[in-house]
Amino acid sequence: MDVNRRDRIQVWTPLFFSLVLILGMVLGFNLRDSLRSKRELNAVIQRNDRLDELIDLINQKYVDTVNCNQLYQDAITGILKSLDPHTVYIPAEELQGVNDDLEGGFSGIGVEFSIVRDTIQVISVLEDGPSSRAGIEVGDQLIKVGDSVVAGKNITSDQIVELLKGKNESKVFVTVIHAPDGLVKHVGIVRAIIPVNSVEASLMLDEVTGYIKINRFSANTSNEFSAALKKLKKQGVKQLIIDLRDNPGGYIDAATSIADDLLDDNKLIVYTKGIRSPRTEYKASKDGLFEHGKLAILVNEGSASASEILAGAIQDWDRGVILGRRSFGKGLVQEQYELPDGSAIRLTVAKYYTPSGRCIQRSFAKGREAYNEDYEKRFENGTLTTQDTTAITDTVPFYTSTHRVVYGGGGIKPDVYVPYDTSLLYSGVLSMLYSQELKTAIWDYFIHNREALRFRNIADFNRSFETPEQLTGNYFAMLTPEIRKGALKQLSKPVNDLYFRQQIKAQMARFLFKDNGFYSISLRQDDMVNKALEVMNSDRYSKMVNGK
């Protein structure tokens, strides 16, 4: 009996000590991780303490008064400076404005304005918006907002916007000089959510070609795009130009949703991944509104991020033709983290890859300053005005669906290159068109001839209106003799004069028919749009999308 018990003890003893050893190891590892976490937390606290101690010391002993909040902000900026150029700190006072652009709306009174002769002129009133309901009309002049005088104060547009924005359903009182009768009126306006449209224009360029201009990818962009495309389909669109020039990007979901309208068969649109972010794929999943039909995407050096996602998907699947100039080259994905003081950090958490597998992020190895100066360098070396001869930094070839070779590491290179029109760049005509004097002359003509400028539609306006000599004469009268002489010399060239007058006509069309009016006129002289039409209306298009 004792022998049997001793045998059983001998059998179980090694197992018992093994269990004790395993338990000890588990407890040891847990204790180690606990202590490590404690050390890491203590290290963070110590680092924060050191920063606080330093700022306290500066505040107590420094020779001059200091702004402690600015010191903290500078410290955060300094920390982020060693990371990529798109990881950024957003101060609390700027965050709302940044979010408004992406969320597609803000609380305001529903007017557009222009500052003419240091006076706030209402140039557009949102239909059935707060100002419209309060009786504000185009041509009214804002004299006061609340207790703040805004006329004759050298006030900026940003300052006016801040005065007019406010809490939703709050009331703001404005003093205006009413356009029809010149009477001074005090008006109370109840603020409401004002949409910020990201689809800037949508129109038919001819019987079969539609055009949609997207200026950012916000929360509402997909719905705006769908609505615009449905309207164009009712007008008979068979081929489509999507203009992404100078579109800085925005929400990835907005870009992939639009790509889903253009791609079929569960095609991959983009995927993201990072060291701490698992691979996430975005695929076409719905019956798209324009899965067939000729397609052209316009890009330039200002097309970034979500714009490049859309253009990259279309190019990799040979769904359409990319025209313009090499895009910005931002292949990084950010997430926004808000801080307790109301500020935020946009932190890069992943890279995105086009369907062929390329990341189009350009190098920032030489620092943020060199990274931000890329546009100037491209202009100086002629890659924006002649041919893009930039050396390929990522020499690994990737392949489109028809086995065309494409590369990553430096933006989306267009299938058809369209340079800047140097004849306009160097003539001074663009400076004339963007001058305050011309803006004033156009506005004066519009205000004094509103009855004569009543047209049934854009087509009627385009047929009947020619830029009047009275308008250009008033413009020249505002210039100094020396500047006037130079302007007249440039406009003595017929091509410059034609462009100048057509762009004035486009700006007048904006007053009458908003952005669609402007683009319906201005696009007639747009080199990139005309090249897109040329390509789509020739056999060159089918050869390109078929990989020939």
Provide the pLDDT for residue 93: 87
| Cα gap 421→245, rounded to integer Å | 15
User: Residue 298: which H helix or E strand, with range?
Assistant: strand 294-299
Spatial separation of the C-alpha atoms in residues 423 and 14, rounded to whole Å? 91
Q: Tokens 């652009």 label which residue?
A: 101
- pLDDT above 90 as % of the chain: 68
Q: For 417-427, what is the mean pLDDT?
A: 86
Tens digits of residue pLDDT in 363-378? 998 888 888 888 888 8
How far does the chain reach from its first CA to its final CA, in angstroms? 92
Q: What is the pLDDT of residue 42?
A: 45
Number of H helices, E strands in the chain: 19, 21
Amino acid at 526: D
Residues 175/120, Cβ–Cβ less than 8 Å: no
3-state secondary structure string across 55-70: HHHHHHHCCCCCCHHH
Q: Which residue has the higher pLDDT, 94 or 311?
A: 311
Q: How confident is the model at residue 508 (pLDDT cuts 50, 70, 90)?
A: very high
Q: What is the pTM of this model?
A: 0.87
Task: Return the beta strands (E) in 371-502 as ranges.
Answer: 398-399, 405-406, 416-417
Contact partners, residue 305, CB within 8 Å, separation at least 6:
217, 248, 249, 250, 328, 330
In Å, how far are 224, 262, 326, 347, 483 from 311, measured between CA atoms?
18, 11, 11, 24, 42
Q: Which residues make up the CATH 3.90.226.10 domain(s) of the chain?
A: 199-418
pLDDT in tens, 174-190: 999 987 788 999 999 99
| 232, 201 Cβ separation under 8 angstroms | no
Predicted confidence at residue 16, as pLDDT, reads: 47
CA distance 472 to 488: 11
Residues of the chain within CATH 2.30.42.10 domain(s) are 105-195
Count of Cβ atoms closer than 10 Å to residue 35 Cβ: 10
State pLDDT tens for residues 207-234: 999 999 999 999 999 999 999 999 999 9
Band of the pLDDT at 427, cuts 50, 70, 90? Answer: confident
Residue ranges with strand state E in 220-291: 239-243, 268-274, 277-283
> Which token pair is 228?
């615009």
CATH of domain 199-418: 3.90.226.10
Residue-by-residue DSSP string for 255-271 = HHHHHHHH--TT-EEEE
User: What's the confidence (pLDDT) of residue 48?
Assistant: 59
Residues classed as catalytic = 305, 316, 330
Question: What is the CATH topology of the domain spanning 105-195?
Answer: Pdz3 Domain (2.30.42)
For residue 175, the model assigns a pLDDT of 95
